[in-house]
Amino acid sequence: MATFSPTVLERTYSTPDVVEQRARTRLAIAARSRERGLDIGCGPGLLACELARDVGPRGRVVGIDTSADMIAWCTERARRDALSSRTEFQQGDASDLRFPAGSFDFLSVTQVYEYVPDMERALGEAYRVLKPRGRLAILDTDWESCVWHSGDRERTARILKAWERHFVHPHLPARLPRLLADAGFTFKSVSLIPILNLQLTENTYSHGMIDVIARFVVAKGGIPRETAQAWADDVRAQAERGEYFFSLCRYLLLAERPRTSRVEEA
């Protein structure tokens, strides 16, 4: 799983790019009053708390994350936003959901499954804890879609290829429709959520990612430090010349647990 700090994720997830991403995720889930939802990999809790507002005072949203620091951060956010009575946060793993079968009306999984080694088990767990007709919303990135303008295209390609080692599944979205069908879900829709930055400012997604990627490819991607620094300097120089361009495609998939399972139908 990812090892970003709550502070880094809070800053990145507060950019207009990601705020719009959450709005579209909530629209797809269409949470209703009194429903129960589970946010898998809740991070700093922004989506979980927004969903808690959607389900109202008689609904409930549970958020799980592998990081104890994230859970503490989420719990404090809910307290500060007067949402403690309709939220619950606990450590947990996407492949081992420790909830009874049929516990939730909807599940949200944002930028999580790309880190999960056993996707079949994770989707099986998602299926198990959903009620019949329960909704599953998944948002993940295909990093092959990334376009980052630079003066040295070959070096940028090497950096981004090394960055893919950060993920178990850097190209997961294309496989998800089949994986969902194999897990028993009814596939409902897929939509594209692009991130496009034509300027390099602190309130853009790509601004915070430059140093994150540079550090990772040095530590775990086999890229020399001077090469990573030259790349970071290169993309920042594009902004100084008025030529900055960053684009990335994320995919939002919606699936549903059928009213009856394939075993029951048989």
Domains of the chain from N-terminus onward: 6-259 (3.40.50.150)
**14: pLDDT strictly greater than 50:** yes
CA nearest neighbour of 81 among 104, 99, 61: 61
Q: How confident is the model at residue 1 (pLDDT cuts 50, 70, 90)?
A: very low
When pLDDT is averaged across residues 47-51 and rounded to a whole number, the result is 97
**Can you give the pLDDT at residue 55?**
98
Q: How confident is the model at residue 265 (pLDDT cuts 50, 70, 90)?
A: very low
Strand-pairing partners, residue 36, are 60
User: Residue 21 class from Cβ within 10 Å (0-12 exposed, 13-18 middle, 19+ buried)?
Assistant: buried
Other beta carbons within 10 Å of 98: 11
Contact 22, 54 (CB under 8 A): no
**Can you give the pLDDT at residue 221?**
96
When pLDDT is averaged across residues 145-157 and rounded to a whole number, the result is 97
**Can you give the pLDDT at residue 156?**
98
When pLDDT is averaged across residues 1-14 and rounded to a whole number, the result is 74
**Can you give the pLDDT at residue 266?**
40
How many angstroms separate the Cα of 253 from the Cα of each of 86, 108, 139?
26, 10, 6
